Structure 1
Amino acid sequence: MLLAVAVLSLAVGSTAPSEAHPPNETDHGVNESTFWTLWAGDNDSRDLSETNTMESLKLLTDGTDVPLDRPPRAVETWNTGEHSEVPQTGTDAATHPQDTTLSDGAYLQDVGISMVALQPSTRAHLSERVQPLYIAPEGEAHGVIDYRIDVPETRSSGSRTIQWDLRSHEVASVRLRLDGEVLDETRRDTTPTLRYTDLEVGSDSERQLTLEATVSTTLRRTVITEEDTCTDTQTNGTAQNTTEDCRTVRSSSSTLHDDSVTVRDTRQVRIYAFVVSGFKTEYPDGDLGLVTYKSHPWYGVSLPNGEVRGVWRFYSARNPAWDTLTTYRSDGSTTAHSPVHPLQVHAYPIATGPTPWPRATTSLLDVYGETQQAPSLPAQVELDAIEGRYTGSFGIATRAETTNHNLSQMEIIGLVRGTNRSLDPEKFSSVPLSESNLTLEIADRTDERLSVRARLSANDTGEPIETASREGYLVVAGETVETNESGIASVTFSRSEDAVSARYVPGYWWRNVPGYTGDTAVIHTGGTVLQYVDALFRGFVPVAALLLGGYIISRLTSWHFWPPWRGL
């Protein structure tokens, strides 16, 4: 990454600007070095006039995307800030993102609720069709509610006038439900944040998490009537002096009309939490052997001196449903670029696969899990994802050079931020692991053929190891063989080599109890070359030891007889 930044900082040129995704500068307390890595899949305008380090990082993330080793906390910081800046409208207009489902009542129109963010959460791209949204057992949902009120116009007909006016309106209640059960509730808030805790994990099945709001309004309908009323009035008590007295009489009556609409935004989620199990062992040299398993995807294990990462990595991308906002009014709707860009964390299988770190002290023994077709990432997400079939790292076996075997000081790392947990030693079975001892002897030989007997046993107890009833095998002179109940295997082959080698390839220690380490053995077959080499070696070693002893004695004493051929 640093090399790419250095190369890009030397580039000169420009490209035509495109639509401004992501925002052109950081905000909400997210630092710049993190900000530019959060927008996978975006195409921004490239301004190469500046060549400082931060601008180079911007250009790097503009041309490609950066895989992340952890779900970034900055996503939640950003979303919380964006939620506070969702534009609000009056009662004559309602503004919503693209995928909002709208509902109408008698007077309430274009009522909708949308989740701005559900966090912490991670969308896991397991396959083309299976892409669950994992949420932590404790988190929050940011929402936005908007609506408009269609107040009927004043109408007159003859002496009768019907007049409407808005008396009140409010978000009567907002509820967060999981499969119908209310987790949290508030009211009178068009940008609510609802929280949940201690969600029961249960199975890995999908659950319905729903943000629900009820909006209410009250309108007053007033009917006004005007009537001209005339009466005869006599003066001086005579009919000839009668006059007509006319006046307009106005009367009104009012009624209140209530309206309420309930709207919902639902996400299919899976509650993500860790209860891992597995096996542990201690190698004869003191190394730690650890196997961890979980029935759904997880990231890896943090060890005392390193880390083992599974097949999963992360990226952060904006929610495209919030790219534009549509504003609805009584005379139509208009769509404009959205000033709000919520982010979502994603997990995907990376092409490099599971990796141990550092490799000098940590090794990956095995990875197992469900094998399935790798998903394709969105077209503009430039990341090295796996193509074809892959094995999900549900189970990871590792060997680490460490004297610290306290599992409670080690951590399992999840796909959802905040779900990391210390390993529970009670969930791990201890498997004994011993050294094996492999020996070879010549059982029979002729000028043409040679029979070799291999004997395999436990180094500490001498107990024979039968490979036919457990995983593992012997390779003798290139031929794979099994040992019997006595730990013996015999091989006959053409006599063409001066030496025969053998090795024991044990099965995985966590699948075979007790477990054994591998071993090797070599025996010379009495060939011409090896006979002379063996004779020379057998004669040279004692002579060399005698000469070395004499030299040391001569140097440490005053005898001065070295070299022994001095007087010759």
Structure 2
Amino acid sequence: MSTTAILVGGVTAQTGLTGNPDNSSAIPEYGPAYGVENSTFQILWSEDVDDGNLSVDDFEGANVSSDGEFATRLAKSTDVSFEQPPDAVETWNDGDFEGFSPGGDDESVHPNGASLEDDEYIKDAYVEIYAVQPSTILHEDNGTTQYVAPDGDVLAISDYRVLLPEDDTSGSEQEEWSLTETSVDSIELKADGETISTDDGHQTTLSYQDLSGSVELTVEAEITATIKHVTLDCPDWVVVDRVCEGLWSEEVDHLERSKTVTASRDVVVSQLSESSGTRVEFEADDDRMGAVINANSTWSTIDVDGDVQARSNWWFYTAGKSGWHTMVTRTATESTRTESSMRPLQVHAYPDRERPNVPTQSIAGENSLLIEEAWGAEQSSPSLPANIDIDPAETYVDADSIALSSTTLEGEAFDEVTVQGIVQGQSQTVSLDEPQTVRETNLTLSVLESNSTRATVRAEVTENTTGNPVSTGQVVIGDQSTPVNASGMAVLEVSSSLSLVRGQYVPQEWWHTDRPYASAEDRTKLPPNFPEFRTLVQLALVTLLWFVPLAAAVFGFDYLTRGTFLGLTDRQ
């Protein structure tokens, strides 16, 4: 045990403190409560100390008597992630918030992390934000951001104590002090300085609606005290006997004092109202459907058809807020600490190592939903608090758009989708009314000219149904590629050693354009490469000139040998 000297209201008090107040149990001993089941309650407190020595045997049926016992052991061994912000956080906070008991007029009860302020008579005054809900703290490589829904609540508590001067009841001039009235007269919620909700009392729930953008939420509490100050004066004071032989004159003053304290949170409103999307049909495949969804915000899942959904790489954990493990009661002479009866929970989001995926089951052996691509800004890994036993992704793509396709879902599955946000209970249904069609195309290759080394090939790309030129995408032949022009043409040079030229039209991905096309292929033969007539004549002359001397030499040798060499001459 350590002994600490604390100056309270001008009086030094010696208070015994045992250890660090925030080293107490991370999991409240008075839980589960407020309708949160034990199996859920145990895994909500990720800041607890984990024991990695538990074995698989500790979780087997013979050693685990209930779901709550299993959750207790799981919570002791690691921290648990959630696919969605759990409803249990708000359920717990609503019930737990009611447990606040403020002090009397001469004592202030506050969480250990509260920022206290003093005035002439009003001491240890504060207001603290217990929770902003629903909300999620997003962890990114550049820090954290608290996201809130456009509509929500701020739960706040406030307390203080009043320190009066001591009465002076000796001498011809005497003073008496008493507290007539005191209260937390008003608590206001302000958004960027503008009052949007008002209440009073030591604890209050302040609501807000239709917030947008980045907002500073400020809770401002005005504490008032009315103090009665009586001054007595005796003109006939007997010093020896210390008594007044005459009448006391009395002067009464009522002092009105107030103290304003504030607490603020910087938040960003998570907006899903700007989410949009496009349904995509495929001209060549009536069974295939697609959709491009632009959430334009951080999202958790996209629900397509019943249980069929795509989920992002954002996962969630919950943890208690620091500074609330211990409650401190301060008076003019002492300060005492107890285990807190208020333990607010907060939802956190982090990027998981798993990429965006489809967790639903396949249909008839085929994936019910396929993620073609999810794109956005590439980010580095965030740093989570040291006491959180979760490993985030080292690098990840913060995907705000995604392309989906399916060959197994019913035709109306992509008529609308529901985007679920990262803030509990926040979602937006997006209608995909006007479909785009991925049109079939034709690729036609023709040889413009050819020589012994190179051939010039023209590629023409047109729409299959209309014959109109296709002006996007590129044509690929071998290791060469050239974009098509406004007339749907592309010209490429290839080696004339090829007898057959194969080409492919590669369109822009259908999820990155508002006029999508399908790929197409074609092939053509290069013409035979016959020599020109002049070249043939020159070749014949060269051959003749080369063979005439040889023939003469052979004939002459045969002549000299009297025909014995080749038998071409007969010399008797």
* TM band (smaller chain): 0.7 to 0.9
Deviations along 1:197-229, one digit per CA (max 9) or x if unpaired, are: 233x2xx3x211111111111121122345659
Question: 40, 44, 62: which is aligned to 2:46?
Answer: 40
The aligned counterpart of 1:415 is 422
Matched, 1:134 2:170: no
In structure 1, what is the Cα distance between the partners aligned to 2:88 and 2:164? 43
The aligned counterpart of 2:220 is 212
Q: Is the 8 A contact 2:456 2:491 kept in 1?
A: no
The aligned counterpart of 2:345 is 343
In structure 2, what is the Cα distance between the partners aligned to 1:413 and 1:73? 14
The aligned counterpart of 2:14 is none
Cα drift, residue 27 of structure 1: 1.2
In structure 2, what is the Cα distance between the partners aligned to 1:186 and 1:326? 25
Q: Is the 8 A contact 1:279 1:290 kept in 2?
A: yes
Q: Is the 8 A contact 1:310 1:396 kept in 2?
A: no
Q: Is the 8 A contact 1:273 1:419 kept in 2?
A: no
Deviations along 1:280-314, one digit per CA (max 9) or x if unpaired, are: 32123243322222443223421126222223222
Deviations along 1:142-190, one digit per CA (max 9) or x if unpaired, are: 1111101102211233233211112111111111111122211112x21
Counting only pairs closer than 5 Å after superposition, residues 157-236 of structure 1 correspond to structure 2 as: 157-187=170-200, 189-199=201-211, 201=212, 204=213, 206-226=214-234
Q: Is the 8 A contact 1:298 1:413 kept in 2?
A: yes
The aligned counterpart of 1:78 is 92
> Cα gap change, 1:486/1:156 in structure 2, threshold over 3 Å: closer, same or farther?
closer
Counting only pairs closer than 5 Å after superposition, residues 114-513 of structure 1 correspond to structure 2 as: 114-129=128-143, 131-187=144-200, 189-199=201-211, 201=212, 204=213, 206-226=214-234, 249-274=247-272, 275-284=274-283, 285-286=285-286, 287-304=288-305, 306-358=308-360, 360-388=367-395, 390-401=396-407, 402-405=409-412, 409-425=416-432, 430-438=435-443, 456-466=461-471, 470=472, 472-477=473-478, 479-483=480-484, 485-487=487-489, 492-493=494-495, 503-513=504-514
The aligned counterpart of 1:31 is 37
Query: Which amino acid in structure 2 is aligned with residue 460 of structure 1?
Result: T
Cα drift, residue 90 of structure 1: 1.5
In structure 1, what is the Cα distance between the partners aligned to 2:115 and 2:421? 33
Structure 1 counterpart SS, 2:399: coil
The aligned counterpart of 2:74 is 60
Pairwise CA RMSD:
3.4
In structure 2, what is the Cα distance between the partners aligned to 1:291 and 1:379? 38
In structure 2, what is the Cα distance between the partners aligned to 1:253 and 1:486? 101
Deviates more, 1:329-338 or 1:213-222: 329-338
> Cα gap change, 1:366/1:172 in structure 2, threshold over 3 Å: closer, same or farther?
same
Cα drift, residue 69 of structure 1: 1.4
Unaligned segments of structure 2, at least 5 residues: 1-22, 239-243, 527-572
Query: Which amino acid in structure 2 is aligned with residue 210 of structure 1?
Result: T
In structure 1, what is the Cα distance between the partners aligned to 2:313 and 2:50? 30
Cα drift, residue 140 of structure 1: 0.8
Cα drift, residue 43 of structure 1: 1.6
Cα drift, residue 34 of structure 1: 2.3
Q: Is the 8 A contact 2:303 2:419 kept in 1?
A: yes
Structure 2 counterpart SS, 1:123: strand
> Cα gap change, 1:182/1:433 in structure 2, threshold over 3 Å: closer, same or farther?
same
Structure 1 counterpart SS, 2:140: coil
Unaligned segments of structure 1, at least 5 residues: 1-17, 231-245, 526-568
Q: Is the 8 A contact 2:448 2:458 kept in 1?
A: yes
Structure 1 counterpart SS, 2:39: helix
Q: Is the 8 A contact 1:482 1:489 kept in 2?
A: no
> Cα gap change, 1:391/1:192 in structure 2, threshold over 3 Å: closer, same or farther?
same
TM-score (norm 2): 0.74
In structure 2, what is the Cα distance between the partners aligned to 1:276 and 1:283? 24
TM-score (norm 1): 0.75
Cα drift, residue 39 of structure 1: 1.8
Query: Which amino acid in structure 2 is aligned with residue 351 of structure 1?
Result: R
Structure 2 counterpart SS, 1:378: coil
The aligned counterpart of 2:553 is none
In structure 2, what is the Cα distance between the partners aligned to 1:289 and 1:513? 13
Structure 1 counterpart SS, 2:92: helix
* Higher CA-based Rg: 2
Cα drift, residue 261 of structure 1: 0.7
Q: Is the 8 A contact 2:291 2:414 kept in 1?
A: no
Question: 71, 83, 89: which is aligned to 1:69?
Answer: 83
In structure 2, what is the Cα distance between the partners aligned to 1:450 and 1:56? 73
Paired positions, count: 480
> Cα gap change, 1:178/1:441 in structure 2, threshold over 3 Å: closer, same or farther?
same
The aligned counterpart of 1:96 is 110
Structure 2 counterpart SS, 1:37: helix
Query: Which amino acid in structure 1 is aligned with residue 401 of structure 2?
Result: G
The aligned counterpart of 1:21 is 26
In structure 2, what is the Cα distance between the partners aligned to 1:445 and 1:378? 68
In structure 2, what is the Cα distance between the partners aligned to 1:453 and 1:357? 46
Structure 2 counterpart SS, 1:36: helix
Query: Which amino acid in structure 1 is aligned with residue 349 of structure 2?
Result: A
In structure 2, what is the Cα distance between the partners aligned to 1:507 and 1:262? 61
The aligned counterpart of 2:11 is none
Q: Is the 8 A contact 1:304 1:404 kept in 2?
A: no
Deviates more, 1:293-302 or 1:307-316: 293-302
Query: Which amino acid in structure 2 is aligned with residue 515 of structure 1?
Result: P
Structure 2 counterpart SS, 1:341: coil
Counting only pairs closer than 5 Å after superposition, residues 515-554 of structure 1 correspond to structure 2 as: 515-519=516-520
Deviates more, 1:212-221 or 1:151-160: 151-160
In structure 2, what is the Cα distance between the partners aligned to 1:385 and 1:416? 19
Structure 1 counterpart SS, 2:148: strand
Q: Is the 8 A contact 1:128 1:374 kept in 2?
A: no
Question: Could you tell me the percent identity over the aligned residues?
Answer: 30
Deviates more, 1:454-463 or 1:273-282: 454-463
Cα drift, residue 398 of structure 1: 1.9
> Cα gap change, 1:70/1:262 in structure 2, threshold over 3 Å: closer, same or farther?
same
In structure 1, what is the Cα distance between the partners aligned to 2:519 and 2:429? 32
Cα drift, residue 465 of structure 1: 3.4
Structure 2 counterpart SS, 1:361: coil
Query: Which amino acid in structure 1 is aligned with residue 106 of structure 2?
Result: D
Structure 1 counterpart SS, 2:72: helix
